[in-house]
């Protein structure tokens, strides 16, 4: 069943309220007030809304310039999850429930509190990791409430709970995960991502993945940039909708591309298992448990989601992938309702 033209018109007429000048938006304190809002990584103005819908692997709808490369904010977190799956497949992570400190010895997981943090805690955002990384303290994102992002107060130094007992969306802790993965791979994460995911799925060379001017670390005698899991302070993944759709298709096909397995199937299952502390969150993927995140989507739907209205919607029930760039976040469910087959 074809997608109604109404869905495309809806997408084009419900642009994010974010301004085109992303640097000015971040420096104005959208996420937090000065001095915590300092931009440390590259950022550039965003483009116009665009996206596409695929069913059965074929494009059935497209709007805007789908080869427009933009920073994608926290959709990058889901790409870190793919890298973690590769690390598990390669034996670099033996067990998600083992303490990270067993294999990452860089001072970031010392002491009784941080020393108890496991890979699963980092991937589920339940780590309660404490510290500063690349010039940003974890306190910056404590008490963060995504429902009032850009409006509510956060950054209070609330008492920490035991790792694995509290869910909190925290970009500093995700960046700590990225650095831990770098320590295990011992090569730049964008290189691993290109070799193990992007080239096999036929993605373009237009994408890039950045860290901060403060995030260079020494690995085996060479300086490597540790990437960020979003564009909160600049950096992160710059990519276009067509490459994001290919990543989505790989997930829809449960880690297989053209008969070649890129990720273990049980990793896909693990990634989409609801966190006990947040039923709509897996391993850095957003879920739709009980259809409570997006009521118009099927319960099996899952999402890579970035601030400003950057969504990859993967719907196994309908063999469908959709990428939405710069859509008003408040309008995503309305688009999903119109884009259902």
CATH number (domain holding residue 52): 3.40.710.10
What is the three-class DSSP state of 216?
strand
- Cβ atoms 289, 304 nearer than 8 A: no
Per-residue pLDDT at 256 exceeds 80: yes
* Alpha-carbon torsion (67, 69, 198, 16), positive or negative: negative
pLDDT tens for each residue of 17-45: 999 999 999 999 899 988 999 999 999 99
Mean pLDDT for the chain overall: 96
Number of domains the chain is built from: 1
Average pLDDT over residues 205-234: 98
CB contact set of 236 (below 8 Å; sequence gap of 6+): 41, 71, 72, 73, 76, 209, 210, 227, 228, 229, 230
Looking at residue 118, what DSSP letter applies? B
Give the model's confidence band at 302: pLDDT under 50 very low, under 70 low, under 90 confident, else very high.
very high
Give the model's confidence band at 1: pLDDT under 50 very low, under 70 low, under 90 confident, else very high.
low
Domain of residue 298: give its range: 5-339
- The Cβ-side half-sphere exposure at 331, using a 13 Å CA radius, reads 23
Average pLDDT over residues 289-302: 98
Average pLDDT over residues 309-328: 98
pTM of the model: 0.96
Q: Residue 203 and residue 215: Cα distance in Å, rounded?
A: 27
- For 15, counting Cβ atoms within 10 Å of its Cβ (0-12 exposed, 13-18 middle, 19+ buried), the class is middle
pLDDT tens for each residue of 279-294: 999 999 999 999 999 9
pLDDT tens for each residue of 178-196: 999 999 999 999 999 999 9
- Cβ atoms 129, 32 nearer than 8 A: no
- Cβ atoms 73, 236 nearer than 8 A: yes
């Amino acid at each position: 069943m074809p997608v109604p033209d109404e869905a495309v018109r809806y997408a084009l007429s419900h642009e994010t309220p974010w301004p085109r000048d992303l640097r000015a938006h971040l420096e104005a304190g959208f996420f937090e007030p000065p001095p915590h809002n300092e931009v440390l990584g590259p950022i550039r103005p965003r483009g116009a809304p665009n996206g596409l819908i695929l069913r059965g692997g074929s494009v059935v709808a497209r709007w805007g310039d789908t080869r427009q490369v933009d920073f994608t904010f926290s959709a990058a977190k889901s790409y870190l999850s793919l890298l973690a799956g590769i690390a598990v497949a390669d034996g670099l992570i033996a067990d998600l429930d083992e303490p990270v400190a067993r294999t990452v010895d860089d001072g970031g997981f010392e002491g009784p509190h941080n020393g108890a943090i496991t890979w699963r805690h980092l991937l589920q955002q339940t780590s309660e990791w404490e510290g500063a990384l690349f010039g940003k303290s974890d306190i910056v994102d404590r008490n963060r409430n995504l429902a009032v992002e850009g409006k509510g107060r956060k950054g209070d130094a609330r008492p920490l709970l035991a790792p694995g007992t509290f869910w909190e969306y925290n970009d500093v802790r995700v960046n700590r995960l990225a650095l831990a993965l770098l320590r295990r791979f011992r090569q730049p994460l964008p290189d691993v991502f290109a070799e193990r995911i992007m080239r096999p799925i036929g993605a373009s060379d237009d994408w890039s993945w950045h860290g901060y001017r403060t995030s260079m670390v020494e690995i085996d005698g060479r300086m490597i940039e540790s990437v960020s899991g979003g564009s909160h302070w600049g950096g992160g993944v710059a990519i276009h909708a067509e490459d994001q759709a290919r990543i989505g298709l790989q997930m829809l096909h449960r880690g297989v591309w053209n008969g070649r397995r890129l990720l273990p199937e049980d990793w896909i299952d693990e990634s989409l298992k609801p966190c006990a502390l947040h039923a709509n969150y897996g391993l850095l993927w957003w879920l739709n448990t009980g259809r409570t995140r997006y009521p118009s989507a099927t319960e099996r739907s899952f999402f890579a989601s970035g601030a400003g209205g950057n969504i990859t919607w993967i719907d196994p029930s309908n063999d469908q992938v959709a990428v939405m760039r710069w859509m008003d976040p408040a309008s995503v469910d309305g688009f999903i309702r119109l884009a259902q087959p």
